[in-house]
């Protein structure tokens, strides 16, 4: 689906449909702003009700969601249920359990300049926010930020990815059927619609997608000084030391790469670095694991997603057919254009100037780079932009310490892959080229809240030294007091007498 400006765009959530042009877009934002200004979305009851309704459709429409994900990506039912629906249910339940506490003002300390008084930090909603999501986990990546936006009391427009059209239209109808349509809407469409949305003034934009479009989003946001969260991608490195449990390592690597949407996941390992001497053992073990997971004919395995569309299929086959990668395949390589399937593929010693080593792979190809000493992996990782995730498998505590200290990444796991994003206590987001800001659990609530500091004073406790006309004693007293030096402040009174 590629809707163009001026054609009929689907506006889920009580929108009237019809021509979706700049005026319709502005009108939609005005309507949401009115709802927000009415104060309705700020109440705990409204937030709770919307979250309960999301939970309700996750339960009632589970089969439809699984079907849509299958149509868009041939996503295995297991992955659809576990990685998208259950993740969302868990987010929803956590927010419902904790929201009241998160909404309470936090007490803050009072400095000596404000005694007597009290201080607090209030989490207030930002206003009307825009969520733009990607196609690879099209249900989770659309609804998870929306849950944060609702929890924080905002009105929200969701723009799902047009690359996963079945999920996009299902999202539009679920939002329309279950949620408060005057404050939560879905706009379906592609670049034209997103561009029109980006021209509006938002109170926050939450974008998930590639780094190139992340720049487009941030440029548009800058015009209105709108803050952004950018959940981007990059090449996630995976270092495997010879001091590891090879069997467990192979299973955790294979499930993190191919069991995550057949490699089409932002946190899927993009390339492996290991030592020359360990590589043959590792490859053998990965091959055995892959056969045990997906059988001898992986192109027909029901447990592997297909490549999302022909564009991405051609992009991936181009990486595979690149002359510099030619002859480097040590496992897999099979493809079927009709089925849009590429088998789990391992390549050895792909040169640094190959296409595959210079862009995010985002598919089932996994190159292995070899080094003499495992410590050399650090410099290779540092030669790429900061990744969204970095992984190390090793029993060597010294190496682990060095890896954690020296590698900057959005997130990191030692001795596993991908799992960090299932832990709501951990902020999920990138750093540098892999993103700005983070969400999940309380971090989602915080991402869509303004932390408003409020200082409460009464009319006693006048400090004469803050008022003109100034003199040396007032200067000494005030300087010490503002610096938090009570003793110095008192001393200045004595000395200046």
Enzyme catalytic residues: 231, 266
Only segment of 84-92, 172-180, 202-210, 299-307 that touches ligand NAD (CB under 6 A): 202-210
Q: Which is nearer to ligand NAD, 333 or 385 (CB)?
A: 385
What does the per-residue mask of binding to ligand NAD show for 374-413, with x meaning CB under 6 A?
A: --------------x-------------------------
Residues 155 and 35 sit within 8 Å (Cβ to Cβ): yes
Q: Which is nearer to ligand NAD, 36 or 362 (CB)?
A: 362
Burial class (CB in 10 A: 0-12, 13-18, 19+), 385: middle
- Closest separation between CB of residue 304 and ligand NAD, Å? 18
Q: Where are the beta strands (DSSP E) in 160-259?
A: 184-187, 204-208, 228-231, 237-240
Q: Which is nearer to ligand NAD, 187 or 347 (CB)?
A: 187
Q: Where are the beta strands (DSSP E) in 292-338?
A: 329-331, 335-336
C-alpha closest to that of 72 among 312, 233, 253, 356: 312
Residues with Cβ within 8 Å of residue 168, at least 6 apart in sequence = 1, 138, 160, 161, 162, 186, 188
Question: Site for ligand NAD (CB under 6 A): which residue of 50, 161, 226, 394?
Answer: 161
Query: 391 - beta bridge partners?
Result: 238, 413
Question: Site for ligand NAD (CB under 6 A): which residue of 26, 110, 112, 191?
Answer: 191
Does an H or E element contain 123, and which?
strand 117-125
Task: Say how many residues touch ligand NAD, by CB under 6 A.
Answer: 28
- Closest separation between CB of residue 213 and ligand NAD, Å? 4
Place of tokens 């971090």: 443
Is 231 a binder of ligand NAD (CB under 6 A)?
yes
Q: Which is nearer to ligand NAD, 194 or 249 (CB)?
A: 194
Tokens at 491, concatenated? 């001393």
Is 433 a binder of ligand NAD (CB under 6 A)?
no
d(CA 245, CA 282): 11
Residues 281-340 that bind ligand NAD (CB under 6 A): none
- Closest separation between CB of residue 209 and ligand NAD, Å? 3
The residue of the chain with the least Cβ separation from ligand NAD equals 233
Q: Which is nearer to ligand NAD, 51 or 217 (CB)?
A: 217
d(CA 20, CA 35): 21
Q: Is 148 helix (H, G, I), strand (E, B) or coil?
A: helix
Only segment of 41-49, 54-62, 188-196, 238-246 that touches ligand NAD (CB under 6 A): 188-196
d(CA 147, CA 92): 7
- Closest separation between CB of residue 28 and ligand NAD, Å? 17
Is 162 a binder of ligand NAD (CB under 6 A)?
yes
Q: Which is nearer to ligand NAD, 103 or 356 (CB)?
A: 356
Residues 84-143 that bind ligand NAD (CB under 6 A): 132-136, 141
Q: Reduced to 3 DSSP states, what percent helix, strand and coil does the chain have, rounded to the nearest 5? A: 45, 20, 35
Tokens at 341, concatenated? 């399937």
Question: Site for ligand NAD (CB under 6 A): which residue of 36, 362, 391, 393?
Answer: 362
Q: Which is nearer to ligand NAD, 31 or 72 (CB)?
A: 72
* φ/ψ (deg, to 5) at 254: -65, -40
Binding site for ligand NAD (CB under 6 A): 132-136, 141, 159, 161-163, 190-191, 194-195, 208-210, 213, 216, 231-233, 266, 360, 362, 388, 430, 435
């Amino acid at each position: 689906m590629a809707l163009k400006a001026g054609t009929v765009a689907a506006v889920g959530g009580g929108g009237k449909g019809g021509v979706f042009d700049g005026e319709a877009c502005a009108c939609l934002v005005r309507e949401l702003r009115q709802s927000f200004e009415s104060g309705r979305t700020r109440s705990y009851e409204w937030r709770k009700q919307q979250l309960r309704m999301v939970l309700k459709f996750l339960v009632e429409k589970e089969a439809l969601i699984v079907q849509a994900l299958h149509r868009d990506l041939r996503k295995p039912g297991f992955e659809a249920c576990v990685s998208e629906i259950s993740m969302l249910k868990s987010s929803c339940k956590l927010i419902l359990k904790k929201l009241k506490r998160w909404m309470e003002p936090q007490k803050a300390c009072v400095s000596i300049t404000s005694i007597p008084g009290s201080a607090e930090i209030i989490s207030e909603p930002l206003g009307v926010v825009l969520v733009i999501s990607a196609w690879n986990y099209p249900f989770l990546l659309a609804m998870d930020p929306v849950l944060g936006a609702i929890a924080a009391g905002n009105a929200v427009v969701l723009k799902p990815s047009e690359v996963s059209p079945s999920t996009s239209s299902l999202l539009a109808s679920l939002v329309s059927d279950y949620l408060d349509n005057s404050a939560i809407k879905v706009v379906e469409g592609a670049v034209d619609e997103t561009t029109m949305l980006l021209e509006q003034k938002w109170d926050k934009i939450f974008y998930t997608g590639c780094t190139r479009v992340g720049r487009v989003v941030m440029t548009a946001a800058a015009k209105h000084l709108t803050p952004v969260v950018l959940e981007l991608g990059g090449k996630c490195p995976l270092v495997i030391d010879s001091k590891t449990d090879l069997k467990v390592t192979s299973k955790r690597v294979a499930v993190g790469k191919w069991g995550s949407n057949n490699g089409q996941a932002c946190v899927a390992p993009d390339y492996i670095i290991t030592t020359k001497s360990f590589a043959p053992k590792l490859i053998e073990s990965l091959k055995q694991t892959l056969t045990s997971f997906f059988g001898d004919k992986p192109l027909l395995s029901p447990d592997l997603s297909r490549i999302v569309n022909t564009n991405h299929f051609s992009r991936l086959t181009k990486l595979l057919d690149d002359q510099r990668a030619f002859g480097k395949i040590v496992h897999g390589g099979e493809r079927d254009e009709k089925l849009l399937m590429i088998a789990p593929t391992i390549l050895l010693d792909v040169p640094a100037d190959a296409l595959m080593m210079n862009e995010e792979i985002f598919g089932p190809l996994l190159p292995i780079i070899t080094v003499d000493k495992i410590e050399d992996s650090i410099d290779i990782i540092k030669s790429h932009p900061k990744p969204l995730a970095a992984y190390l498998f090793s029993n060597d505590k010294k190496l682990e310490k060095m890896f954690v200290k020296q590698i900057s990444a959005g997130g990191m796991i030692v001795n596993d892959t991908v799992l960090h994003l299932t832990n709501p206590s951990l902020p999920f987001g990138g750093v540098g080229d892999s993103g700005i800001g983070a969400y999940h659990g309380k971090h989602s609530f915080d991402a869509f809240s303004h932390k408003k500091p409020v200082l409460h004073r009464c009319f006693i406790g006048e400090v004469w030294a803050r008022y003109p006309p100034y003199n040396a004693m007032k200067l000494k007293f005030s300087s010490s007091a503002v610096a938090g030096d009570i003793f110095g402040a008192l001393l200045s009174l004595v000395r200046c007498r």
